[in-house]
Amino acid sequence: MKIGYIGLGNMGGPMCRNLIKGVNHQVVVHDLNPEAVAACVAVGGTAAESLAKLAAECDVIFTSLPMPKHVEAVVLGEGGIAQHAKPGSTYIDLSTNSPAVVKRLSAELAKKGIAMLDSPVTGGVPRATAGTIVVMAGGEESVFEANRALLAAFSSTVVHVGPIGTASVAKLLNNMLAFCNAAAAMEAMTMGAMAGIDLRKLFEIITNGSGDSAAIRGLEHRALAGKFEASFHLDLAYKDLSLAVELATEHGVPGMIAPQVLNLMRMARGMGLGGEDSSTSLKVYERVMGREVRLPK
């Protein structure tokens, strides 16, 4: 079997390298960034001559791409997967994508005899690197079972959610909670700083108390340490939360919290911070209050 992998960035890179190390199959890799390709070739991957060639020769093709529009271009665009992949092959999208888009892609690919799973992941770069990322999958159960071992090669938890699109819904809701929890944590830490209490002690109390969350812990070595280099770009977080808010609108669910956090992200993007880490929203509070909010060592 030959496996194709398109999109080797912050997430796709480490997941692909774990796949290469974890399976006895040739893995053909493709990215617009030659350095990202080289890092996967260095551990045994094969650089694709082109997207079209990769699509034509692989039995299973993964993508891990930033936005729905990038996935659509790679799947439906000229020289892409729909045009060149073999009937009987399987396409697995690991990106965080729109449920409507993945359903449309799946329907287009089905016309060519290509099966699809929407298979977003959660856990961030550290867990992608450690091979302990959580993978969720939407699509036909038989397609999921046929590919379960491949997914398990780079993850610790693999969950089949239901039909195509359902995994994307689960992923958007997971991220909505993560971003809302992170925004609440930023607000609390800013309030603690303004009230003049020791932020390290506040952090210790919260992370051992009922206010604890993975989100506040995730801020410790990022924004609260003054580190804003992206392991997860704010622009991508904004995409995810926008899709979650669209989902609430589609189903008529009152948006009490997520739209507020989307506005916070909009302010940070308006400050030119979209290319920084998703935790950079803390800088909105800092700008408004005129002081830095940092954890003492």
- Min CB(46)–ligand NAD separation in Å: 15
23-62 positions binding ligand NAD, by CB under 6 A? 30-33, 36
Among 3, 11, 161, 176, binds ligand NAD (CB under 6 A): 11
Query: CB-wise, 38 or 146, nearer to ligand NAD?
Result: 38
CB 170 within 8 A of CB 161: yes
| Paired sense of beta strands 155-162 and 133-138, if any | parallel
Task: Give the residue from 36, 178, 164 showing the smallest Cα distance to 100.
Answer: 164
Q: Which positions ≥6 away from 180 have C-beta within 8 Å? A: 257, 258, 261
Q: Nearest-CB residue to ligand NAD? A: 9
Distance from C-alpha of 179 to C-alpha of 218, rounded to nearest angstrom: 11
101-140 positions binding ligand NAD, by CB under 6 A? 121-122, 124-125
- Taking CB under 6 A as the rule, does residue 173 contact ligand NAD? no
Query: CB-wise, 89 or 155, nearer to ligand NAD?
Result: 155
Among 7, 45, 139, 165, binds ligand NAD (CB under 6 A): 7
Distance from C-alpha of 45 to C-alpha of 22, rounded to nearest angstrom: 12
Query: CB-wise, 6 or 137, nearer to ligand NAD?
Result: 6
CA dihedral sign, ordered 234, 237, 241, 242 = positive
Question: CA distances (Å), 168 to each of 28, 32, 64, in order?
Answer: 25, 25, 13
Distance from C-alpha of 183 to C-alpha of 283, rounded to nearest angstrom: 11
* Tokens, residue 55: 């699509």
Q: Which positions ≥6 away from 246 have C-beta within 8 Å? A: 98
| Paired sense of beta strands 46-47 and 26-30, if any | parallel
Neighbours of 250 (CB within 10 A): 10
- Taking CB under 6 A as the rule, does residue 185 contact ligand NAD? no
Among 16, 39, 65, 258, binds ligand NAD (CB under 6 A): 65
Q: Site for ligand NAD (CB under 6 A): how many residues?
A: 28
Query: CB-wise, 109 or 241, nearer to ligand NAD?
Result: 241
Query: CB-wise, 10 or 181, nearer to ligand NAD?
Result: 10
Site string for ligand NAD, 70-89 (x = CB under 6 A): x--xx---------------
Please identify which residue in the block is written with the tokens 């989100």: 215
Q: Which positions ≥6 away from 104 have C-beta within 8 Å? A: none
CB 237 within 8 A of CB 180: no
Query: CB-wise, 65 or 189, nearer to ligand NAD?
Result: 65
Active-site option among 171, 227, 239, 297: 171
212-241 positions binding ligand NAD, by CB under 6 A? 231-232, 236, 240
Does residue 171 have an active-site annotation? yes
Among 95, 129, 190, 279, binds ligand NAD (CB under 6 A): 95
Active site members: 171
> Which chain residues interact with ligand NAD by CB under 6 A?
6-12, 30-33, 36, 64-66, 70, 73-74, 95-96, 121-122, 124-125, 231-232, 236, 240
